[in-house]
């Protein structure tokens, strides 16, 4: 019975063992050399480093302790996937195992070395985490945004690579349009993705933040949030009508919003562009040291 194809999963992308085939070749012909990519090495733990391209930023302390207990009893069953860079081994897959090994102060860990560029590393890290459901919604969104900005991939191309629908990718990246305080509520689980999608129906950040605070304060479910958002939308429409006779602030460039969106896509995070009469500011938000490092790298700034 033939072995089913792995498809565009981790097995295919990480370069699994080639399928075995029957051969009737004469014994005088030498056998093919073994695939060195599958050779497991044991390397010092302090020579392994996490990747700045890792989309997952938050790791549960409790889950890491449980994994460390398992490794203490059984060892690291699945080797880490790494690439060599400047004399160290940079993680492609297996950061949870690496962190658990640190908790145990293991002297060395098993690794398989791969040759991979930055795009492949980000794709593999995303796929590994998505298949294991380890990413929170914002980490997933930032990963998609980074693929789009750094490697000029369309949402359709991203969807194919990670095994999601284009709509799922588009809905995920919309979360990056939320103001920073609302993103913080989402990241910490104080509001759900369902709440966030309803909040995005509000046109301005002030009301979006107000809605999120009400959800947290009153413990509103998604259906109740829909009612709250409807009321806020009605209030915003009324206020807009009341001030219709006052002069509006007209942006000097009608493409200002589009430019702000391009900046968000480029940096893979929330960016606010403020402009008035030839002056203004560009505000880039980040939510961890790793995200700051990634923004600096995009800008070509060395933090050292």
pTM over 0.75: no
Q: Where are the alpha helices (DSSP H) in 88-178?
A: 95-103, 118-132, 137-151, 155-162, 166-174
From 77, 66, 81, 151, select the one nearest 113 (Cα to Cα).
81
Please tell us whether the domain made up of 37-134 is placed in CATH 3.20.20.150: no
| Model pLDDT for residues 35-91, shown as the tens digit of each residue | 445 688 899 999 999 888 777 777 778 888 988 999 998 898 889 889 888 888 998
Between 173-177, 190-194, 276-280, the lowest mean confidence (pLDDT) is in: 276-280
| Model pLDDT for residues 110-125, shown as the tens digit of each residue | 998 988 888 888 877 7
pLDDT on residue 257:
67
pLDDT on residue 126:
76
From 49, 73, 295, 271, select the one nearest 178 (Cα to Cα).
271
Are domains 37-134 and 178-240 of this chain identical in fold?
no
User: What are the residue boundaries of the structural domains of the chain, listed by start?
Assistant: 37-134, 178-240, 256-299
pLDDT on residue 196:
92
Instruction: Check residue 219 and give left, alpha or beta (phi > 0: left; psi -120 to 50: alpha).
Output: left
Tell me which residues are annotated as active site.
Answer: 95
CATH number of the structural domain 178-240: 1.10.10.2830
Q: Give the span between the Cα atoms of 283 and 281, in whole angstroms.
A: 6
Q: Say if residues 84 and 116 touch (Cβ distance below 8 Å).
A: no
Degrees, nearest 5: CA angle 67-70-75: 110
| Model pLDDT for residues 192-243, shown as the tens digit of each residue | 999 998 998 888 899 999 999 999 999 999 899 988 988 888 776 666 555 5
């Amino acid at each position: 019975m033939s072995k089913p194809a792995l498809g565009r999963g981790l097995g295919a992308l990480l370069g699994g063992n080639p399928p075995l085939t029957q051969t009737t070749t004469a014994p005088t012909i030498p056998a093919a050399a073994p695939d060195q990519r599958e050779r497991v090495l044991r390397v010092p733990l302090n020579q392994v480093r996490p990747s700045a391209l890792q989309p997952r930023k938050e790791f549960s302390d409790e889950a890491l302790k449980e994994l460390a207990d398992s490794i203490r009893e059984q060892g690291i069953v699945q080797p880490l996937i790494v690439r060599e860079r400047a004399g160290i081994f940079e993680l492609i897959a297996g950061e949870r195992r690496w962190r658990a090994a640190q908790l145990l102060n293991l002297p060395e860990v098993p690794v398989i070395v791969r040759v991979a560029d930055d795009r492949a590393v980000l794709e593999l890290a995303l796929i590994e985490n998505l298949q294991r459901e380890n990413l929170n919604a914002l980490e997933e969104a930032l990963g998609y945004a980074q693929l789009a900005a750094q490697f000029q991939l369309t949402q359709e191309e991203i969807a194919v690579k990670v095994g999601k629908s284009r709509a799922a990718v588009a809905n995920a990246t919309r979360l990056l349009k939320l103001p920073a305080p609302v993103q913080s509520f989402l990241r910490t689980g104080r509001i759900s993705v369902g709440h966030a999608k309803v909040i995005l129906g509000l046109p301005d950040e002030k009301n979006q933040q107000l809605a999120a605070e009400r959800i947290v304060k009153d413990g509103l479910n998604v259906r109740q949030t829909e009612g709250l958002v409807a009321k806020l939308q009605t209030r915003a429409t009324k206020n807009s009508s009341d001030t219709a006779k006052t002069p509006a602030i007209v942006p000097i460039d009608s493409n200002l919003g589009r430019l702000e969106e391009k900046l968000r896509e480029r940096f893979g995070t929330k960016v606010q562009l403020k402009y008035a009469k030839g002056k203004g500011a560009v505000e880039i938000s980040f939510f961890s040291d790793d995200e700051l490092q990634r923004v600096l790298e995009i800008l070509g700034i060395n933090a050292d």
